[in-house]
Chains A and B, each alone.
Chain A
Amino acid sequence: MRKVAVVGVGMTKFSGKQDKTAVELFAEAAVDAINESGLKPANIQALFLGNALGDFAEGQAQLQAFVADYIGAPFIPANRYENACASSSAAFRDAFMWVASGFYDIVLVGGAETAAKMGTPLATRTFAMASDSRYEYPCGITFPGVFALLAHLYARKYNVPLEKLKYQMALVSVNSHYYGARNPKAQFQKEITVDDVLSSFMVCQPLQLYDCCPFSDGGSAVVLACEEKARKLTDKPVYVAGVGQASAGNLMSQKDYLPRLRSRELSAEQAYRMAGLTPKDIDVIELHDCFSIATLIALECLGFFEYGKSGEAVEKGETKVGGKIAVNPSGGLKSKGHPIGATGTAQVYEIVRQLRGECGERQVDGAKIGMTDTLGGDGGTLCNIILKRGW
């Protein structure tokens, strides 16, 4: 396998409902990424596009073909990845492998979503399609409902009193908003307090509004190149050091592991092994904080803290920039926003810019190795990417 580098990144501002289509949002991010790489659309050999719900949000299937044409790269092979909230991370992993294999030298990968445009009732319905339509949805399960079930399970399994867990979860959201307030691309650029979280309305007990990421619109894009091309294009290539991906069935079939998500443990293990690294080597992570409890579960499955202990680590400030592991300096899904198909490559965008030292107030000093973590559905898809400075 050849070494593969990120040579350009782009993302739109993430937002609530806005006027552009998913094709247009992706195109804005893609043109920024292509321009940053110094390439032209004609240099792009293939497109890997994450989009989960275009069919429902805009009546638009197969948008990858329209995207390729729209950005001035008509007729290139273009594929869409639907892995729920992990769509563009799955697209990234495949794009990486096509370049690593030697089949392509330069590809474009990214994602776009206009989920906010759907409004809360339809967005809640369509997000629930990533649960099991036969054996879970009839109960009225929702995406926050899944993590609400895991929150109570977590409290019980690790003997954390619910009130204490709720406080730790609130701190996760407070941290997200602290960094989001320092990210001009974030949907919410405003700090919040523990009281704000604990007084917000109940969505799915015990998750309140500020325990939950928003519905968002946005696009993100990354240009990948083989090492030989990357060295000619940039002084600061960011290499893909490791990737991992795993799947899981419905929540019932994961009973031996919950509230751990086994797909995450397996995916992370693959990425660490491929990179020859351990959790201790990671300077900064963008992880899938779709809900506050999801951050605590992720930190443990990724190997940063012991099972049942990540809430205490959050209380001690160990997940802040400057702490043991810098978590979600972009503001994460909670504050930066979660346009689901765009989320994975937006995490890559943040890590690449952190490694290049371009993040201003929220910069993780001297970050050399970063990681992403993206989850789809009830753990149905899990992807991890480890990125490393090439200079």
Chain B
Amino acid sequence: MELKLSFKDYNEALKQNKLLGLRCKQCNAITVPPKIACGGCASTDMDIVQLSGKGSIQTFTTVFVPPEGREPEAPYIIVLVELDEGPWLMGNLVGVDPNKVTMEIVGKRVMMGHAVFPGDKYSAGEEARPVFSLEA
């Protein structure tokens, strides 16, 4: 069957700061990042919905030893955010000093923007990712 929401379409929307997910017509669960089947009940009967991109930080790390090709970005913060709609989303956190971030950041409210990883020789082209900042 045809994908309801492909990586390509999710990625294109993310580049417009729009976070797309899937709402299950059977169990109402939200699946993001997209899958062909609902993360809650495995139904494929889902509709595309736009999510708020807002939520709270659940955990974080600062990466000091980056992979090959990502050296200019380091050190950088990675967070797992619980979206207001329920799912967790991985992204970066900006506007906070990566050398000084502590457990105090956990629970803080954030909003989503994006940045684009241009890709490297191993990846299949450019890929956007969520970039969060603290809510004013």
Contacts known (A134-B33, A145-B78, A253-B39); A139 close to B62, Cβ less than 8 A: no
- Which residues from chain B contact A250 at a C-beta distance below 8 Å? 33, 90
* Contact A152 B59, beta carbon cutoff 8 Å: yes
Given A121-B71, A129-B122, answer yes or no on A201-B76 (Cβ-Cβ < 8 Å): no
Let me know if B103 and A155 touch, CB within 8 A: yes
B17 contacts which chain A residues (CB < 8 A)? none
Assess whether B39 is in contact with A203, with CB atoms less than 8 Å apart.
no
On whether the beta carbons of A141 and B62 are closer than 8 Å, the reply is no
Chain B nearest Cβ from A376, distance in angstroms = 18
Kindly identify, within residues 237 to 292 of chain A, every residue whose CB is under 8 Å from any CB belonging to chain B: 249-253, 255
Hey, which chain B residues are within 8 Å of A138, CB to CB?
Answer: 117, 127-129
Q: Which residues of A contact B60 (CB under 8 A)?
A: 149, 152, 205
Do B61 and A145 touch (CB < 8 A)? yes
Given contact pairs A151-B61, A250-B90, a sample of 4 additional A-B residue pairs in the complex whose CB atoms are under 8 Å apart: A134-B33, A153-B80, A252-B88, A255-B87
For the complex, count residues of B whose C-beta is within 8 A of A.
Answer: 42
**Contact count band on A:** 35 or more
Nearest-neighbor residue (CB-CB) of A134 within chain B: B7
Q: Once the chains bind, are A142 and B123 in contact (CB under 8 Å)?
A: no
Report yes or no: A152 in contact with B61, Cβ–Cβ below 8 A.
Answer: yes
How far in angstroms is the closest Cβ of chain A from B81?
10
Give the distance in Å from the alpha carbon of A156 to the alpha carbon of B103 in the complex. 9
Q: Is the interface of A mostly helix, strand, loop or mixed?
A: helix
B106 within 8 A of A: yes
Mark A148-166 against chain B: 1 for CB-CB distance below 8 A, else 0.
Answer: 1111110110000010000
Residues of B within 8 A of A249 (CB): 35
In this complex, what residue of B is CB-closest to A212? B65
Task: Give the nearest-CB partner of A201 in chain B.
Answer: B64
Say yes or no for A234: interface residue by CB 8 A criterion: no
Asked if residues B63 and A137 are in contact (CB atoms below 8 Å), the reply is no
* Chain B 14-51: CB-based contact to A (< 8 A → 1; otherwise 0): 00000000000000000001010001000000000000
**A124-B68 contact in complex given A138-B128, A139-B129, C-beta closer than 8 Å:** yes
The reply on B95 being an interface residue by CB < 8 A is no
**Minimum C-beta distance from A222 to chain B (A):** 32
The reply on A135 being an interface residue by CB < 8 A is yes
Contact B66 A135 (CB under 8 A): no
Interchain nearest-CB distance for A24 vs B (Å): 26
| Residue contact A205 to B128, C-beta cutoff 8 Å | no
